[in-house]
Amino acid sequence: MSISGTTPADVRFDLAVTPLREVNQLLHADGLSGSFAIDAPAGAHNVAVGLDAPVAVAINGHVGYYAAGMNKQAEVTVHGNAGTGVAENMMSGSVRVTGNASQSAGATGRGGLLVIDGDAGARCGISMKGIDIVVGGSVGHMSAFMAQRGRLVVRGDAGEALGDSVYEARIYLRGTAASLGADCVEKPMTEEHLEELAGLLKAAGYDDDPSSYRRYGSARTLYHFHADNSY
C-alpha cells in the first residue's frame, strides 16, 4: 500500500505496488467503512468487484473487464474509461464512469444506479433486471437487449436494434435510434414517466428537460408463442 494520487480518501492503494488480489481482499473485510482510492489501475480487470459495504471507492485511471461487478451498497467512481461488463450483475449502490464504457455495461444488473458520462458500447443494459442506467452520451447496437426490469436513459443516440426483445424495462432516449429491435416500440410519455425520468436525471447529476426524451418499451407480442414467430 502506498500514498499517491489526488482523490481524497481514508485509505489509498497503488496497484503499481500492491497486487490487485490483495486490494480486493482488503475491500471485502468484515465491517468495512470509510473511503478508499485505487491508483494506477492501468487497465486491470476485476477491480473492486464483489463489494458489499457502504463505502466509497475512487478508481483513478482506466480499468479493464468487469470493474465494480456484483456491486452491493458501495459507491464506486471510475475516473477514466471502463472495459467490458462494468457493474455487471450490480445489486445496489452506485457506479459512475467519468469516461466511456465498452460493451455490456450493467449487464444483468438487479439494482442500484450506473452512470456513464461518456458513450457506452454495444449491448448496454443487456438482460437488465432492475438496475437503472444513465448514459451521458450514446449507446451501441442492441442496447437493452432482453431487458426485463429497470430503466435505461440515453442522453445521446442509440445504435441498431434498440430494445430488441425487451420485456418490462423502460427506455428513455433523447437522441435518435438507428433502428428498434424486435417487439420494441415507442410509447407515450405520461406525467408519470416525465416525473420518473426527471428523478433519474437528477440522481445522475443532469438537468435535461424530460420532455425532450422519447420512451420505448415492449409491444408485448413476443410474450406468448405464435406460429408466425417460429423458425
Residues linked to residue 11 through DSSP beta bridges, in sequence order: 36
pLDDT score for 9: 85
pLDDT score for 176: 98
Per-residue pLDDT of the chain (231 residues; tens, 9 = 90+): 333 445 778 999 999 999 999 999 999 999 999 999 999 999 999 999 999 999 999 999 999 999 999 999 999 999 999 999 999 999 999 999 999 999 999 999 999 999 999 999 999 999 999 999 999 999 999 999 999 999 999 999 999 999 999 999 999 999 999 999 999 999 999 999 999 999 999 999 999 999 999 999 999 987 766 666 565
What's the CA gap between 175 and 128, in Å, rounded? 21
Per-position b or e across 182-199, b if 16+ CB within 10 A of its CB: ebbeeeebeeebbebbbe
pLDDT score for 44: 98
Sign of the dihedral defined by the CA atoms of residues 216, 220, 225, 227, in that order: negative
Residues 6+ apart with CB under 8 A from 78: 59, 62, 63, 67, 68, 86, 95, 96, 97, 98, 99
Looking at the whole model, is its pTM more than 0.85?
yes
Q: Which domains does the chain have, with CATH numbers?
A: 46-222 (2.160.20.60)
pLDDT score for 227: 63
